[in-house]
Structure 1
Amino acid sequence: MVKKCLVSVSVTLLAVVAISLFALSPSHIEQLANHFLGQDLSIKIGEKNTLSSKGAELHSFTLNLNQPEACPLVQLENVQAHWWDKRALQAEKAILDYACFQQIPSAEDATKTEFNLTALLASLPDVSVEIADLQVINAEAISSPALQQLLQSQLSAALSYQDQQLHLQATGKTPERELIQLNATLAEQQVSGHLTYQPQADQQHQADFQFALSQNILDIPEQGKFNLHWQRPDLALTQADLSLQWQDRQGILVLQDVAHQQPILNVPFKVEKDQFQIENGQFYWPVSNLQQPLQGVLNLTLHKLTEDWLPLNMDVRLSLFSAGEAGKGNIVIYGTQGVINKDSLNLPLEAHGNVKYGQSIAYVDTAFDVRGNQEDMIALFKEKSILRVNWKEPNANMTVRIPMTDVIIGKYGVGGRLQAFLQGHTAQFSDIDLHLDGQANQFVAGITSLFALRTDDFQRNGVILKSSDSNWWKWNFNGKANVKALKSPITVSGKGAWQSDHVEIQQLQAHLGKFYTSGIRVPKVEMRLKDTLHWYYEEEKLQGLLQASIPDIGLDYGGHFVKPVLELGIDGKALKDFNLAGNMTAGGLGPIKLFAHYRNDELVGRLYWLEQSAKVFQTLFPQNWEWEILNGTIKGQTDFDVSAERGLQMGGHFSIRQAEVAFPDGELRGIEFALPYRYLNSRVELVKNPVQVSVNYLKSGVLVAENLSVKVQGYYPYSTQRPLTLSELKFNLLGGEMSVNKFALPQQKIANVQLYNIDLSQALTMAEYTQVGLSGRVNATLPFWLENEHCIICDGEITKTDEQDVNLTLGPELITGLKSGGLTEGILADVVSNMNLQKLTANVNLTPNGMLTLASHIQGYNPTKRNKHPITLNYTHQENVYELWDMVNYGSTFEQNLEYQLYQKRK
């Protein structure tokens, strides 16, 4: 292209010479000029010309290229030529045909025209040429936006030749600014000049050049230097100096980053008769999106295969250096016997070694061919080529292996079968083994700094494809891993794609194995997508819909959730930062609403359910309890936090209103409580405020209690350091009241059961004693210790109330039995058969095996006797209350079980 530009300058000079010849022989101008130009070039002078003694005015003047196809190289319009006092040429317009210039025989053609510089300059008279409007036509083939901007600007040029010195001045302007200005001088075969160029308001370029021309101006100058300085905020190097100089077939190219005072290129080169050579050329490139600069050494040799410079044989060796916490790395890329043709390249290469950055290492072991033309250069990888990256972070160690066999990398990205094998562990997963396998089509993987994006339609195998049908990688995937937090295996499979600026998963089947955590047992979890998962990573947008199904969730105490189904909408920025929103159902339970946010390997959220029938929570009762929920409502809310380090943490509250529960030997009615709680370290904490629990009615066998209330505070499961405390326990029992002020589980000290105003007749009725009658009321204090090895009730005391006496009546059968024992027993039976007890005290002890010892002291009289003599009795009674309770409770339990079974049948 440089030689063609030199040709264009030469032929323009020849046009100037031809016009100047008017001063010598206007009538023979065409004949003489065409004879001088030879067979390749010719001139044509238009009609309507004016000739005078001082000059000439030409309507048009054309310089034509005769072969291979005739076309006009340069056309001048409204030309004025002066030769009297000075020789000058002025043209109102000059039109250059770019397509015609492309047909000028190149230096590589077998038949070429040589332009002798000395002869050319000697043939020129002193002259000046001015072109007010310079236009270039038929230049659509030029794809460079900068050149198109230049060609479409207002161009002008001025050329003068005086005292064997040639001066050129050219400008290009736009309405906003001066786009380009060139000043150049040719003297004694030395060309020097200065160029300024400002394509945008914030961009500046300044160049100085000087080189010595050969006698044949189409030959490369034997010596010269070129310096360029630019300021471009849109480039990686915003300020830089480029220097190129050569002499005696040796030179050096130097590029300096002015902003950071950093050398970028230092490339010495040597040009010999049959080869071009770069030896130990050094480069340093601080790529902004890499953790370290790209730096290395280049050795390159180009061998001539013929007398001309094309085709060429190429040998190359490139070493790339890197350094990281894992040490230093080096990749060597080398190849021999590559061939460079005029329009194509074919270079076999191999690359081996590693790159290290931070704690990560990338390994390269590939062989590939670089081939194609300037517009379609590709790298085709050969068999057994592979890339491997070992990526490390504080909580992760992953190896990614990418087979490269038959993969194509070109200007527009990667094509062919593209696979990836991922193995290792992250903060959430261990033993990861994931395989992606699919087809890529001009896939850039978001690396726009290396690849260009398709913006026009293209053709493949004779079929026209839209630009939108590029930059994608579609794959199937399958793999497995272990979820660290759950200690459970997971398998995944499905299909997805990475296209343009987003990644999507179109199908997903995931199976999570059984796991146990925080008192919860899950046999398995099956997950699938209900809608495509989209991740627009440039826009930081993530969307999708996921469904998880579980056969059953078991709780340690025996309850369970039946067939939970969880539907979750995903909306966020990235795979490590997104929101979740959805519903969970389990049998009749639900929907339970869920809102959560996943970020920094932590899931934080809230779930709640509106008030609904308590019957849907039936499965939360252990089956062996045989409890049935009859009525009531429940509502609640829970905040939770899940992370690999802390596990599951929860906190919230739920409330129960007017619940009724039936069980085989009893029932509960009017259950109400509001329970704020916190779940931490596999333990429920009720520590903020005591929980007030109330039950209107309790029946267990023959025991009936009403208006039960208690405050609960502490921990469950409980321990010595973290007890569960019950306080202010009280309920109505046997016409009186029973209360416990406070006791803790596990029990560390003795506590007291207080009985107040207990109706003895109701107690005997409950105990089904028919041979003893008691009326009146008593109080009792029963110290108890549930886990004491000596006594459960320890020295309890029963006393008569002060309000009224207690009446004792023995039944006829009991009296008859006592009298049959002898005279003493008969007298006793007669005395105590009916007594008013004015004093009653009893000491009570109950051992862990159920043996009750009752030592009583009574004082009273027989109201049926006239004298009403006082009677004092001391009486000790022992009986196993467990056996007694079983006998007493049998009938009631049978009745209650019958009612329970009838209810079961009605369901």
Structure 2
Amino acid sequence: MFKKFLIFPAILIITALAVGLLAISPSNVEWAVNYFLGQEISIKIAEKTKVSATDANLSSFIVNLNNPTNCPLVQLENIQVKWWDSRSLRAEKAIVDYACILQIPTSDEQTESQLDLTALLASLPDMDIEIADLQFINTEEVTSPVVQQLLQSRLSTKVIYQGQKLTLEAMGNEAENNLFQLNATLVNQQLTGNLSYQPQAEQQHQLDFQTTLQHNLFDIPKQGKLNLHWQRDDLPLNKANLSLQWQDNQGELILQDIEHQQQILNVPFSVTENQLQIEKSQFYWDISALEQPMRGVVNLTLRKSSENWLPLDLDMRLSLFSSGEAGKGNIVIYGTNGTIGKEKINIPLQAHGNVKYDQSIAYVDAVFDVRGDENDLFALFKEKSTLRVNWKEPDANMNVRVPLADVIIGKYGVGGRLQAFLQGNTAQFADLDLHLDGQANQFIAGVTSLFSLRTTAIWRNGEILSSDDSNWWKWNFKGKATVKALKSTINVNGKGAWQSDRVEIQQLQANMGQFHTSGIHVPKIDLSLKDTLRWYYEEHKLQGLLQAKIPEVRLDYGGHLLNPILDLGIDGTHIKDFNLSGNMTAGSLGPIKLFAHYRHDELVGRVYWLEQSAKVFQPLFPQKWEWEILKGTIKGQTDFDVSTERGLQMGGHFSIHQGEIVFPDGELRGIAFALPYRYVNDRVELVKNPVQVSINYLKSGVLVAENLSVKVQGYYPYTKKRPLTLSELKLNMLGGEVSVNKFALPQQKIANVQLHDIDLSQALTMAEYTQVGLTGRVNATFPFWLENANCIICHGEITKTDNQDVNLKLGPELVKGLKSGGLTEGILADVVSEMNLQNLTASVNLEPNGMLKLSSNIKGYNPTKRNKNPITLNYNHQENVYELWNMINYGSTFEQNLEYDLYQKLNK
């Protein structure tokens, strides 16, 4: 190929000589030159030629390649030649046909060629040659963008030969930019010069060269020096210097990183007639853009296997050294009897060892062949070849194994059956075990710095076939892991693909075993895709739709949610940074709206539901309570935060309006409250503001109360340090009012129940006493202590109200019974059969076993007696109020159970 491009300067020389003879005759000159050129190349001189004694002007001069296409190699236009005072040739335009040059036969390259430089220069007269506009056409075969840019620029060249000194100047311009400039001088076989190349304003390249040419131009110079300097921000080495120098058969190549003042590459070499040998070549890669500095040593031998340089036999050994927190690593890549041919390359190699970085280690055990041609090399791995990576971070430890048998890796990516086995632990998962198995085709895994993208070929069984489909890895996956936050095992399987800049999960079946956390028990979760999960990692976009189904959620206190179904849309920028939105239903409950954001292993979001019937929350009541919701509405919202470190935290509010509940021995009506809360460390916190709870009507057995209101504040479950406080408790009962100013759970000090203006007749009616009649009203104070071992009500006090007397009247049967007891009893019965009580005080104590002790003092008179003599009585009474309550409540409970059963049947 090099010889082909020597055609152009040779053509210039032929042109100069031919034009110098034009005084004879253009047609005769054309015939004579073609005669000596032979059959492969011919010239054609335009008829419009003006010749004088001192100069000549030609409209065109063409050099043709005589083959079936008969293409023009070079065409010069508007040529002016002078030969009197000085010899010069100037052409306004020269057109070089690149495709035609490629058709020049190359069979001569198989034999030793001779081109005597000294003789060639000695045959040349002193002259100047200048081409103002040099153009290349038909350059479609050129694949290099750099070469294409040079060939398409505005080129000009000038050659001066004077006194055995040859000078060459060439320049290329693109728009306003000086693309390149070449200056070279040849004197006494010493070639020196420089080349500058600046494809963009911010890029600079400078080549300086000096060498002594051999007499045979095609022989390698025995001595020389090249120095290339560049400055480019788009390269790993932004600012560097590459120098090559040699003397006789010894030489050295050095690459220097100028920005970091570091020698990157040092290649000493020796060249003999049949061999190129590199021994102990060293390189060091410690650029800030790379996180792993690499150091290595290369030994390489290239041997001629015939008279020509190709094919070459190759032996090589490459040692790569690395270091990290886990120690030092070393990988050795070696092989012998490789072959580098003119069209094909085949190098059998082996790689063994490890690379260490920080706490991570990559192990390689591989046998492979490097095959292909110089433009498309690939490595074909053989059986039992494996890559293993042990990857460690502060919160993760992963082992990755990639079998490489029959895998192809080339400049266009990875092909063949590609598998990956992942095992280890991450921040979210323990005992992770995942297997991906699929087929890859020109898969580059987004690594554009190592691979090129090609869309017109595929690999199959080591062969390249035509296709428009490329850069993908399609796989099936299956595996399992333990979710740390839930201490539950999840199993997954499905299908996915990594194609171009997109990773997607197309099918997914996953199930998670039972877990119990934060007062919630879940027997299992089934997870599936309702739409493909796609991650466009270059566009920073993540999309998909998931569905989770749970047979039941059981709450520790006894409530449950039946058949929850959660539909979640995913929208984000990364698999570690995305939004969730969706709905949850559980039977007739819902839909409950959910919005959340997952980032840095933390899920933060909000759940809310619009106002709906309170009946849908029936499953939240434990069955053992036997509570039935009749009516009412509920709405609310909850903000939540879930992380491995802090667990589940929630906060929000919900409200109930006009709720009604029945239970076997009672009912609640007119329930209303708005509950702001926080849930932290498995505890509900009602600490921001007291929660106001109101109930219009309450009935439990024979006990009936109305207009109950209470403020609740504190924690649940409660402790001594974090109590639950009830304050300003009030309710209407027995015609009066019952109140508790403040009461804390667990109780740490005594509290007081205040009864005001209680109607005694309603109290006796509730107690179903028919033989005693009481009218009037009383007040009472009952100090109580639920956790006191001695008394529940401790020294309670009952007193008559100030504005009304209390009337006592015994029933006929009770009076008759008293009188039958004797004279004294008869007198007493006659005196107290009816009394107006002007003063009434009583002391009450209630023991934990239910024993009530009442000591009372009564002062009054019998209104039926004329004298109305004052009567003073001291009365003591003792009775188990638990047994009494059961007897009193029996009938009412029976009646309400019938009513409750009727409600249940109606609701069903």
User: Is TM (by shorter chain) over 0.5?
Assistant: yes
State the AA in 2 paired with 1:161.
Answer: Y
Q: Distance in 2 between matches of 1:111 and 1:727?
A: 111
Q: Distance in 2 between matches of 1:197 and 1:381?
A: 41
Provide, for residues 858-900 of structure 1, a one-character-per-residue CA deviation record: whole Å limited to 9, x for no partner. Answer: 2222222233222222221111111111111000001111111
State the AA in 1 paired with 2:467.
Answer: L
Q: Distance in 2 between matches of 1:27 and 1:667?
A: 127
CA deviation after TM superposition for structure 1 residue 472, in Å: 1.1
- Give matches, 1:635-646, under 5 Å: 635-646=635-646
Q: Distance in 2 between matches of 1:584 and 1:65?
A: 80
CA deviation after TM superposition for structure 1 residue 25, in Å: 10
- 1:483 aligned partner: 483
- 1:668 aligned partner: 668
CA deviation after TM superposition for structure 1 residue 341, in Å: 0.5
Q: Secondary structure at the match of 2:109?
A: coil
Q: CA separation of 1:786/1:108 partners in 2, compared to 1, >3 Å: closer, same or farther?
A: farther
User: Which of residues 464, 467, 478 in structure 2 aligns to 1:465?
Assistant: 467
**Residue 688 (structure 1) aligned with residue 688 (structure 2):** yes
Provide, for residues 172-206 of structure 1, a one-character-per-residue CA deviation record: whole Å limited to 9, x for no partner. Answer: 23342332222222221221122222222332222
CA deviation after TM superposition for structure 1 residue 489, in Å: 0.8
Q: Secondary structure at the match of 2:450?
A: coil
Q: Distance in 2 between matches of 1:459 and 1:778?
A: 100
**Residue 739 (structure 1) aligned with residue 739 (structure 2):** yes
Task: Tell whether the 8 Å contact from 2:753 to 2:783 is kept in structure 1 after alignment.
Answer: yes
CA deviation after TM superposition for structure 1 residue 56, in Å: 4.0
Task: Tell whether the 8 Å contact from 2:26 to 2:49 is kept in structure 1 after alignment.
Answer: no
Provide, for residues 241-273 of structure 1, a one-character-per-residue CA deviation record: whole Å limited to 9, x for no partner. Answer: 221111111111122222332222221111111
- 1:425 aligned partner: 425
**Residue 124 (structure 1) aligned with residue 114 (structure 2):** no
Task: Tell whether the 8 Å contact from 1:292 to 1:357 is kept in structure 2 after alignment.
Answer: yes
- 2:757 aligned partner: 757
Q: Secondary structure at the match of 2:253?
A: strand
Q: CA separation of 1:366/1:769 partners in 2, compared to 1, >3 Å: closer, same or farther?
A: same
State the AA in 2 paired with 1:783.
Answer: P
Q: CA separation of 1:501/1:192 partners in 2, compared to 1, >3 Å: closer, same or farther?
A: same
Task: Tell whether the 8 Å contact from 2:23 to 2:51 is kept in structure 1 after alignment.
Answer: no
- 2:201 aligned partner: 201
**Residue 86 (structure 1) aligned with residue 82 (structure 2):** no
- 2:180 aligned partner: 180
CA deviation after TM superposition for structure 1 residue 385, in Å: 0.9
Q: CA separation of 1:317/1:68 partners in 2, compared to 1, >3 Å: closer, same or farther?
A: farther
Range with greater deviation from structure 2 (731-740 or 142-151): 142-151
State the AA in 2 paired with 1:767.
Answer: A
- Give matches, 1:486-525, under 5 Å: 486-525=486-525
- Give matches, 1:522-537, under 5 Å: 522-537=522-537
State the AA in 1 paired with 2:266.
Answer: N
- 1:137 aligned partner: 137
CA deviation after TM superposition for structure 1 residue 332, in Å: 1.5
Task: Tell whether the 8 Å contact from 1:734 to 1:763 is kept in structure 2 after alignment.
Answer: yes
- 1:115 aligned partner: 115
Q: Distance in 1 between matches of 2:16 and 2:429?
A: 80
CA deviation after TM superposition for structure 1 residue 705, in Å: 0.8
Q: Distance in 2 between matches of 1:164 and 1:84?
A: 19
Structure 1 gaps, min length 5: none
State the AA in 1 paired with 2:524.
Answer: K
- 1:592 aligned partner: 592
Task: Tell whether the 8 Å contact from 2:797 to 2:841 is kept in structure 1 after alignment.
Answer: yes
CA deviation after TM superposition for structure 1 residue 22, in Å: 5.4
- 1:314 aligned partner: 314
Provide, for residues 450-481 of structure 1, a one-character-per-residue CA deviation record: whole Å limited to 9, x for no partner. Answer: 01112567898897522xx2111111111111
Q: CA separation of 1:770/1:48 partners in 2, compared to 1, >3 Å: closer, same or farther?
A: closer
State the AA in 2 paired with 1:156.
Answer: S
- Give matches, 1:418-457, under 5 Å: 418-454=418-454
State the AA in 2 paired with 1:465.
Answer: S
Q: How many residues align?
A: 905
Q: Distance in 2 between matches of 1:777 and 1:44?
A: 139
Q: Distance in 2 between matches of 1:41 and 1:220?
A: 28
- 1:246 aligned partner: 246
Provide, for residues 278-329 of structure 1, a one-character-per-residue CA deviation record: whole Å limited to 9, x for no partner. Answer: 1122223456653123432221110110011000011111122222222222
- 1:704 aligned partner: 704
Q: Distance in 1 between matches of 2:649 and 2:210?
A: 77
Tell me the C-alpha RMSD between the 2 structures: 2.3
CA deviation after TM superposition for structure 1 residue 157, in Å: 2.1
Q: Distance in 2 between matches of 1:26 and 1:685?
A: 110
Task: Tell whether the 8 Å contact from 2:530 to 2:546 is kept in structure 1 after alignment.
Answer: yes
Q: Distance in 2 between matches of 1:782 and 1:21?
A: 140
- 1:556 aligned partner: 556
**Residue 631 (structure 1) aligned with residue 628 (structure 2):** no
Provide, for residues 384-433 of structure 1, a one-character-per-residue CA deviation record: whole Å limited to 9, x for no partner. Answer: 11111112111111111111111111121111111111111111111111
**Residue 223 (structure 1) aligned with residue 223 (structure 2):** yes
- 1:170 aligned partner: 170
Q: Distance in 2 between matches of 1:39 and 1:408?
A: 48
- 1:574 aligned partner: 574
State the AA in 2 paired with 1:655.
Answer: S
Range with greater deviation from structure 2 (842-851 or 195-204): 195-204
Range with greater deviation from structure 2 (257-266 or 298-307): 257-266
Q: Secondary structure at the match of 1:802?
A: coil
State the AA in 1 paired with 2:291.
Answer: Q
Task: Tell whether the 8 Å contact from 1:551 to 1:562 is kept in structure 2 after alignment.
Answer: yes
Q: Distance in 1 between matches of 2:16 and 2:370?
A: 47
Q: CA separation of 1:131/1:867 partners in 2, compared to 1, >3 Å: closer, same or farther?
A: closer
- 1:414 aligned partner: 414
Task: Tell whether the 8 Å contact from 1:95 to 1:136 is kept in structure 2 after alignment.
Answer: yes
Identical-residue share of aligned pairs (%):
73
Q: Secondary structure at the match of 1:218?
A: coil
Range with greater deviation from structure 2 (362-371 or 174-183): 174-183
Q: Secondary structure at the match of 2:211?
A: strand
Q: Secondary structure at the match of 1:815?
A: helix
Q: CA separation of 1:404/1:865 partners in 2, compared to 1, >3 Å: closer, same or farther?
A: same
CA deviation after TM superposition for structure 1 residue 38, in Å: 6.4
Structure 2 gaps, min length 5: none
Q: Distance in 1 between matches of 2:897 and 2:129?
A: 123
- 1:650 aligned partner: 650
- 1:835 aligned partner: 835
Q: Distance in 1 between matches of 2:36 and 2:251?
A: 37
**Residue 869 (structure 1) aligned with residue 869 (structure 2):** yes
CA deviation after TM superposition for structure 1 residue 682, in Å: 0.6
**Residue 792 (structure 1) aligned with residue 792 (structure 2):** yes
Q: CA separation of 1:734/1:459 partners in 2, compared to 1, >3 Å: closer, same or farther?
A: closer
Task: Tell whether the 8 Å contact from 2:441 to 2:458 is kept in structure 1 after alignment.
Answer: no
Q: Distance in 1 between matches of 2:295 and 2:654?
A: 64
- 1:363 aligned partner: 363
Q: Distance in 2 between matches of 1:187 and 1:35?
A: 33
Q: Distance in 1 between matches of 2:655 and 2:94?
A: 94
Task: Tell whether the 8 Å contact from 1:171 to 1:182 is kept in structure 2 after alignment.
Answer: yes
Q: Distance in 1 between matches of 2:482 and 2:166?
A: 80
Provide, for residues 97-131 of structure 1, a one-character-per-residue CA deviation record: whole Å limited to 9, x for no partner. Answer: 33343344558733454212222222222222222
Q: Secondary structure at the match of 1:478?
A: strand
Q: Distance in 2 between matches of 1:107 and 1:227?
A: 34
Task: Tell whether the 8 Å contact from 1:108 to 1:308 is kept in structure 2 after alignment.
Answer: no
Range with greater deviation from structure 2 (239-248 or 34-43): 34-43
Q: CA separation of 1:735/1:413 partners in 2, compared to 1, >3 Å: closer, same or farther?
A: same
Range with greater deviation from structure 2 (126-135 or 594-603): 126-135
Q: Secondary structure at the match of 1:829?
A: helix
Range with greater deviation from structure 2 (127-136 or 23-32): 23-32
Task: Tell whether the 8 Å contact from 2:457 to 2:464 is kept in structure 1 after alignment.
Answer: no
Q: Distance in 2 between matches of 1:527 and 1:603?
A: 18
Task: Tell whether the 8 Å contact from 1:536 to 1:542 is kept in structure 2 after alignment.
Answer: yes
State the AA in 1 paired with 2:233.
Answer: P
CA deviation after TM superposition for structure 1 residue 10, in Å: 4.0
Q: Distance in 2 between matches of 1:433 and 1:337?
A: 42
CA deviation after TM superposition for structure 1 residue 39, in Å: 6.8
Task: Tell whether the 8 Å contact from 2:751 to 2:785 is kept in structure 1 after alignment.
Answer: yes
State the AA in 2 paired with 1:678.
Answer: R
Task: Tell whether the 8 Å contact from 1:236 to 1:288 is kept in structure 2 after alignment.
Answer: no
Q: Secondary structure at the match of 1:114?
A: coil
Range with greater deviation from structure 2 (841-850 or 16-25): 16-25
